A = this chain, B = another copy of it.
Amino acid sequence: MAERTCAMVVVGNEILSGKVQDSNAYFAARELRKLGVALNRIAVVPDEIPSIADEVARCAKTFEFVLTSGGVGPTHDDITIEAVAVAFSRKVVIDPELRRIVGEHFPGGINAAGLKMCEVPEGAVLISAGDLRFPTVQLENVYILPGIPQIFESKFTALAGRFATDPYFIRTIYLNSGESPIAEHLNSCLRLYPELLLGSYPRIGHAEYRVKLTLESKDKAYLKNAFDCLIGLLPAEVVVKTE
């Protein structure tokens, strides 16, 4: 099965201005990896309709699906719905089902802020999954998720089954050497196993190791052979441990 590709568009002046550290992209990166989906791009863009719309349009054309995070809600800076509509040249309309759900929280009648939460790009579908109070809005291959981490994570988890393909197998090697002395061994291993996904991550100030190597493949036997090859190439005294 071919790997699915995905991009994430984070709407967030608060991230660009350093007020908040994004955690949704990190959460999605880990979960998508487990699901066997290739997250190929993360873009953090300002709360401006043209910036969001351009990025969403470009990603929607390039990747199989797109997740957006943030800019959904009742306040003046919540413009992701409108921006996704612009990206696909759609109008923004009130969704009757959302209006029914939101209306339950406004016994005295929905105010302007509540009505804003009923807006969707024309042609969007609602995905009700799990025990979520509020469905997720999907337009074409774009899933519109909120920025609040707890809600982002529960909505993502409810959607995960739609994204899953086949997973990666992974091995890890920890070294007490720097990168330069072992670079030639990494290159030799890659010449023999060109399909191996090999990562080398130096870490400063860690008590146990200096470099973490990750070896990944969707083919379990290929990974085993590549791992054995690299372990054979590396000087035994630099290998701290393997996982």
Contacts and interface: CB of A to CB of B under 8 A. Distances in A.
Contacts of A202: 73, 148
Number of copies: 2
Given A19-B214, A41-B45, A46-B40, A77 B200 contact: yes
B77 A199 contact: yes
A198 B21 contact: no
A138 to B, nearest CB: 23
A29 interface: yes
Nearest to A16: B39
A216 B45 CA distance: 19
Interface in A15-30: 15-22, 25-26, 28-30
A113 B150 contact: no
A32 interface: yes
Interface in A47-68: 51
A97 to B, nearest CB: 19
Contacts of A51: 40-41
Contacts of A199: 13-14, 17, 19, 77
A179 to B, nearest CB: 5
Nearest to A181: B113
A73 B150 CA distance: 37
Contacts of A148: 202-204
A183 B76 contact: yes
A151 B179 CA distance: 15
Contacts of A204: 148, 150-151
Contacts of A14: 199, 201, 214
A125 interface: no
A33 interface: yes
Contacts of A107: none
Contacts of A187: 76
B15 A33 contact: no
Contact of A180 (B16, B28, B39, B74): B74
Given A15-B26, A111-B184, A150-B204, 10 more contacts: A14-B199, A18-B39, A19-B214, A42-B43, A43-B43, A75-B200, A76-B183, A113-B181, A114-B180, A151-B204
Interface of A: 13-22, 25-26, 28-33, 38-46, 51, 73-77, 111-114, 148, 150-151, 179-181, 183-184, 186-187, 190, 197-205, 214, 216
